[in-house]
Amino acid sequence: MRATHEVHIGSAEGTKGVAQQPIPSPVPTNGASPHQLQHSSHPGVQLHEHPTKAAAFVANDARLHWHDQAVWFLRGKRDRVSSAFPEWEQLRTLGSHIKAHTLSRLAEYLEQFERNALALGARVHWALNAEEHNRIVHSILADHGVTRVVKSKSMLTEECHLNPYLESQGIEVVDTDLGERIVQLRREPPSHIVMPAIHLKKEDIGELFHEKLGAPPGLSDPKALTELARQHLREKFLAAEAGITGVNFAIAETGGFVVCTNEGNADLSTALPPLHIACMGIEKVVPRAKDLGVFLRVLARSATGQPITSYTSHFHGPRPGGELHIVIVDNGRSRILQREEYRRSLHCIRCGACMNTCPVYRRSGGHSYGVTVPGPIGSVLAPHLDPAAHASLPFASTLCGSCSDVCPVKVDLHHQLLMWRGELGRERLVPIEKRLGSAIGGWILARTWAYRFFGKVMRWLLPRLPRALVYNRWNAWGRQRELPEAPAQSFREMYRRRRGN
Ligand code: SF4
């Protein structure tokens, strides 16, 4: 790890349950690559995970089209508000520059944030990984004798699997974002980072509420369902002894942080119980309060096409008589930070726009990715944690580049997906038929004579081959598509003939 990007674990007084050593460099000293080390812990590699789960989703044609339309609707809203905003491209550039600058001095800004947060009366904890994060949160709750917790939406706590961990310790955790509560009641993960229950119809939710919350059978009116959820959650808010939130932006110069919601549930989760725990990834820090003017303007517009989220709550220290703990988590992020070609993925502000535009996400659903953050950004991030287990994800893309085009902080998503493909291929984590096909294709495309020769052969051969030789189980592409009719001449031949030479 390069010194300029080394993130040091805080050593400030007042921290509790804190790991007091620098994040160890993931670069191993025994000559093996970090990936090789991780492979050894995964003998049962699941290379076909995404295609298998996507096939199950695609099998329900009606659901596929409905999901596609629902997500595309959000992309349309995003387009309308961003195109009506003259400085949109400037904001994207500025946001990207601020993130790049912050990441180049991440340790400095995190330590500045910690100093200022401590000065405001918060307690700061540092967690190297998900297990440590969960242990820290649990120890804070246990110290206060807490058994009932309300939680507002936080992808980090999903990533760390905090809920099952706390439940295994006898603590009730209730997600208070409506979509999150719905998927929690169904005992399934969110399928989208902004709209966790986008894969469900109102009838599914009516059925769920009938079973879990005593709603009348057949109820599917969204207003009535929301009212029922509101009553159910109000009881949970009033009974909670602690509130957990995520962090959208942590401000180094003030030690404060911002949480964005559309339902006000983060505010209730922190205003009612006396104990507030805020969990943030190390990449959430921004240098100055005025940087929020850039990120808040692009976040909601990119996510749902709103000018701003309904509630943008600022926290500066604990509320009077209360206690505030901030848990800062690495969980593989410093490993991404040290890889320059992938570093830009840490710019991500989790708006979900790349999912809404991705033709593969829209048609395969979030659960087919098998990770907390699905879609293009999830397919870039997940292999860093475990390349063997998530080797299929960088291939869940058409590489059309639409994800990079809509990203409000200019993450070069399709380039990173392409880089992962090459890397996974070199690590032999890609199925043999795909590697063989790419190697043959690469060899032919690199030689003009071979390209012309095999083009001619295939134009003659294709119409004569028995169908079973072209469309078979090795040709995944051909399972749902037909090749166009082979032309009699190549483009080059046609061009020459028309030019008369
Ligand atoms: S990568 Fe960009 S578009 Fe995708 S969720 Fe992150 S910020 Fe949004």
- What gap in Å lies between CA 332 and CA 133, rounded to an integer? 13
Cα–Cα distance, 54 to 369 (Å, whole number): 8
386-405 as b/e: b if 16+ CB within 10 A: bbbbbbbbbbbbebeebbbe
- Amino acid, single-letter form, for residue 199: H
pLDDT value of residue 477:
82
Considering only CA atoms, which residue is closest to atom 4 of ligand 1? 354
User: What confidence score (pLDDT) does residue 501 get?
Assistant: 66
Predicted confidence at residue 28, as pLDDT, reads 32
Domain 2-60+107-331: state its class.
alpha beta
Show Cβ contacts of residue 442 under 8 Å, excluding neighbours closer than 6 positions.
none
* Ligand 1 binding pocket, CB closer than 6 Å: 302, 348-354, 377, 406-409, 411, 413
Using CA atoms of 74, 77, 83, 88 in order, give the dihedral in degrees to the nearest 10. -60
What pLDDT, on the 0 to 100 scale, is given for residue 29? Answer: 31
- According to DSSP, residue 147 is labeled -
pLDDT of residue 225: 96
Nearest CA to ligand 1 atom 8: 351
Mean pLDDT of residues grouped by 10 in the chain (501 residues)? 35 34 33 33 53 92 94 96 94 98 98 98 98 98 98 95 97 97 96 96 96 95 96 96 98 98 94 97 98 97 94 96 97 96 97 98 96 97 95 96 98 98 94 89 96 96 92 84 91 91 66
Atom of ligand 1 nearest to the CA of 380: 1
Best residue among 407, 410, 417 to mutate for probing ligand 1, ranked by most atoms within 8 Å of CB:
407
Name the strand (E) or helix (H) holding 248. Answer: none
Phi-psi category of residue 31: left, alpha or beta, with phi > 0 → left and psi -120 to 50 → alpha = left
Give the 3-state secondary structure percentages of the chain, helix then strand then coil, rounded to 5.
55, 10, 35
Of 79, 97, 480, 41, residue with least CA distance to 286 = 97
Residue 48: the pLDDT is: 60
Q: Give bridge partners of residue 328 from the DSSP assignment.
A: 126, 280
CA torsion through residues 440, 442, 448, 451, sign:
positive
Two tokens, residue 330: 């690495």
Query: Residue ranges of the domains in the chain?
Result: 2-60+107-331, 433-500
Residue 49: the pLDDT is 84
Say which residues have a Cβ less than 8 Å from residue 294's Cβ, sequence separation at least 6: 91, 94, 95, 98
State which of 348, 371, 397, 403 you would mutate to test the pocket of ligand 1, scoring each by most atoms of that ligand within 8 A of its C-beta.
Answer: 348
pLDDT of residue 150: 98
323-329 and 123-127 beta bridge pairing? parallel
In sequence order, what DSSP letters do the residues of 174-210 get, joined into one string? EE-SHHHHHHHHTT---SSSS-TTTT--HHHHHHHHH
Tokens 């994040």 locate to 23
What is the chain's Cα-based Rg? 25
Tokens 């995520």 sit at which residue? Answer: 246
